[in-house]
């Protein structure tokens, strides 16, 4: 091939390449021009949601919302209890929300943020889940009970089931609770430190409160002392040498113990200590309807009288279980009547004469008084069997007071006078008991006059049983003979109150 032909071929080839390059550039430009002439302007970013708040129930509900968008987006802000699917996407989508069960009482929420990829646009959806209904139980129930023994020093535990905070209220001072507040499920300890030293079970209802609901815990501590064995005292007769009073026992009482103390005997002791002393005294296996101080005391002496009864209940060791102690403070009265009235007994073969002349003209405290006398066989019944053996207080309480109550006018006297009686026997017993001028109460003074002219009767041989030895307090609580009221009634029925014979 000649050189000129080769040159021609090269020229033609180069021309062809430039042509096609030119044609390609021309078509590209034409395409760009055509595109710019035919397409509208690019769309603005769009991101919209179908709702801005969703509420889910406490059990764990599933709901959804939709996204209308022309951009890529992501979702942030969800919490561990909420599942969100999907959390990213392009353009339109449906987002599914699933909540776990909410076991707490309070509502919970989170704020989801849906944002475009470039951060230019965003939306929010608030998700709220309802709280569970309040739950508060004690040992699985809305009400539970614990029972404790009487001695104290005992503790028990109980379980609280709750889905919220709780607090225990209405706790009395004889119960300790730990802890008294907490959150959700807990175990509490209930302690009773002190004995229930009474004859009544004590009860309390503790209230556990939380989230607007409550549960009760009932506490019962048994009684230490026997039930239906209470003793009461009434109708006291207090004199210079002691006292007497009526006793009344509840139906369950079978027997009792009693004791008489002075202030020094029990100084610094608690009632519990005194009760323990009482339980060491003589035990009577019957109940009677009166009591009296079994001995002689000085005037203005403070006596602490204690009594407790037992019934059919027994302690673990077989001993009698006693009821509560009745404690009464009694101060013997001042002996003053002897300063107001002088009593003298004279006699002849046909009559007895008792003179009640006053000593002094003014300041007498005893203007009103009662008298009675007996002679003959009844002399020994009143003087030896009662007055000499026991106390004036007992005689006044069991004989004189009932007689006056039966007929207030029988034996009533006002002012000093001479009282004459026919003498039919060599023995006479005369008693005079006065009212306090100011208080109108019977004072402590009981005057006894007696005479026994029988030659074969030696009064010095009479020895009272269980009489109190002066300054020997231990002798006060020795066993004593109990005079049944039936015996006293027989004596009283045979008593005669003599009228004044002018």
- pLDDT, residue 306, reads 94
Domains of the chain: 47-129 (2.60.40.10), 136-221 (2.60.40.10), 231-331 (2.60.40.10), 337-493 (2.60.40)
Please report the DSSP string for 310-341 in residue order: EEEEE-TTSPEEE-PPEEEEEEPPP--HHHHB
Q: Over the chain, what is the mean pLDDT?
A: 83
**H or E segment and range at residue 389:** none
Q: Where are the alpha helices (DSSP H) in 358-464?
A: 378-379, 392-395, 401-406
Q: How confident is the model at residue 293 (pLDDT cuts 50, 70, 90)?
A: confident
Q: Are strands 82-85 and 154-162 parallel, antiparallel or unpaired?
A: unpaired
Q: Which residues pair with 63 in a beta bridge?
A: 97
What does the pLDDT average to over 134-142? 91
Q: Convert the pLDDT of each residue in 159-196 to its tens digit.
A: 999 988 999 999 999 999 999 999 889 999 999 999 99
Q: Convert the pLDDT of each residue in 390-418 to its tens digit.
A: 788 888 998 889 888 889 898 888 888 88
- Rounded CA-CA distance 333/435 in Å is 13
Q: Which residues pair with 469 in a beta bridge?
A: none
Question: Cα angle at 477 between 476 and 478, to 5 degrees?
Answer: 100
Instruction: Please say if the pLDDT value at position 20 is more than 60.
Output: no
Q: Are strands 255-262 and 427-435 parallel, antiparallel or unpaired?
A: unpaired
Q: Convert the pLDDT of each residue in 318-369 to its tens digit.
A: 999 999 999 999 998 876 554 566 677 888 889 988 887 765 555 567 778 8
Q: What are the Cα distances from residue 459, in Å, to 47, 345, 452, 464?
A: 129, 18, 9, 11
- pLDDT, residue 21, reads 62
What does the pLDDT average to over 474-502? 60
Are 217 and 159 contacting, i.e. CB atoms less than 8 angstroms apart? no
3-state helix, strand, coil in the chain (%, to 5): 20, 40, 40
- Rounded CA-CA distance 47/91 in Å is 8
Q: How confident is the model at residue 153 (pLDDT cuts 50, 70, 90)?
A: very high
Provide long-range contacts, Cβ within 8 A and 24+ apart, for 325-330.
325/271, 325/274, 325/275, 325/278, 326/230, 326/231, 326/232, 326/233, 327/271, 327/274, 328/233, 328/245, 328/304, 329/302, 329/303, 329/304, 329/305, 330/236, 330/238, 330/243, 330/302, 330/303, 330/304, 330/305
What does the pLDDT average to over 107-122? 93
Instruction: Please say if the pLDDT value at position 126 is more than 60.
Output: yes
Residue 30 structure tokens: 């034409």
Are 231 and 249 contacting, i.e. CB atoms less than 8 angstroms apart? yes
Q: Convert the pLDDT of each residue in 300-326 to its tens digit.
A: 889 999 999 999 999 989 999 999 999
Q: Are strands 326-331 and 302-314 parallel, antiparallel or unpaired?
A: antiparallel
- pLDDT, residue 158, reads 96
């Amino acid at each position: 091939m000649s050189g000129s032909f080769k040159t021609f071929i090269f020229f033609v080839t180069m021309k062809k390449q430039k042509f096609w390059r030119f044609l390609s550039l021309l078509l590209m430009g034409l395409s760009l021009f055509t595109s710019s002439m035919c397409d509208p302007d690019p769309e603005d970013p769009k991101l919209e949601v179908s709702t801005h708040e969703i509420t889910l129930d406490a059990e764990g509900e599933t709901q959804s919302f939709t996204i209308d968008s022309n951009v890529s987006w992501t979702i942030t802000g969800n919490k561990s209890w909420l599942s969100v699917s999907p959390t990213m996407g392009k353009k339109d989508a449906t987002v599914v929300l699933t909540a776990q069960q909410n076991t707490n009482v309070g509502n919970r929420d989170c704020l989801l943020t849906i944002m475009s990829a470039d951060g230019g646009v965003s939306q929010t959806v608030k998700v709220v889940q309802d709280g569970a209904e309040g739950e508060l139980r004690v040992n699985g129930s809305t009400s539970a009970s614990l029972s404790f023994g009487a001695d104290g020093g005992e503790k028990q535990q109980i379980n609280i089931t709750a889905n919220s905070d709780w607090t225990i209220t209405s706790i009395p001072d004889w119960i300790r609770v730990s802890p008294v507040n907490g959150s959700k499920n807990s175990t509490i300890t209930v302690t009773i430190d002190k004995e229930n030293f009474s004859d009544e079970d004590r009860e309390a209802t503790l209230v556990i409160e939380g989230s607007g609901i409550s549960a009760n815990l009932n506490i019962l501590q048994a009684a230490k002392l026997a039930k239906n064995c209470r003793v009461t005292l009434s109708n006291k007769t207090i004199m210079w040498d002691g006292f007497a009073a009526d006793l009344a026992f509840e139906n369950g009482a079978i027997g009792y113990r009693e004791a008489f103390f002075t202030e020094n005997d029990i100084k610094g002791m608690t009632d519990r200590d005194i009760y323990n002393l009482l339980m060491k005294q003589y035990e009577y296996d019957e109940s009677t309807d009166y009591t009296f101080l079994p001995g002689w005391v000085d005037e203005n002496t403070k006596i602490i009288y204690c009594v407790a009864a037992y019934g059919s209940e027994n302690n673990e060791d077989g001993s009698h279980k006693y009821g509560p102690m009745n404690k009464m403070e009694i101060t013997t009265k001042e002996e003053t009547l002897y300063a107001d009235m002088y009593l003298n007994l004279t006699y002849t073969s046909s009559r007895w004469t008792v003179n009640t002349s006053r000593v002094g003209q003014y300041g007498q405290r005893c203007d009103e008084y009662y008298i009675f006398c007996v002679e003959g066989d009844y002399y020994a019944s009143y003087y030896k069997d009662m007055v000499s053996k026991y106390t004036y207080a007992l005689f006044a309480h069991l004989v004189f007071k009932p007689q006056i109550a039966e007929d207030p006018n029988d034996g009533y006297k006002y002012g000093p006078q001479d009282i004459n009686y026919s003498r039919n026997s060599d023995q006479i017993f005369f008693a005079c008991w006065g009212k306090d001028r100011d208080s109108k109460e019977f004072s402590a003074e009981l005057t006894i006059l007696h005479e026994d002219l029988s030659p074969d009767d030696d009064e010095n041989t009479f020895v009272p049983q269980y009489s109190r030895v002066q300054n020997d307090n231990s002798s006060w609580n020795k066993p004593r003979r109990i005079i049944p009221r039936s015996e006293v009634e027989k004596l009283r029925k045979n008593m005669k109150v003599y009228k004044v014979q002018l």
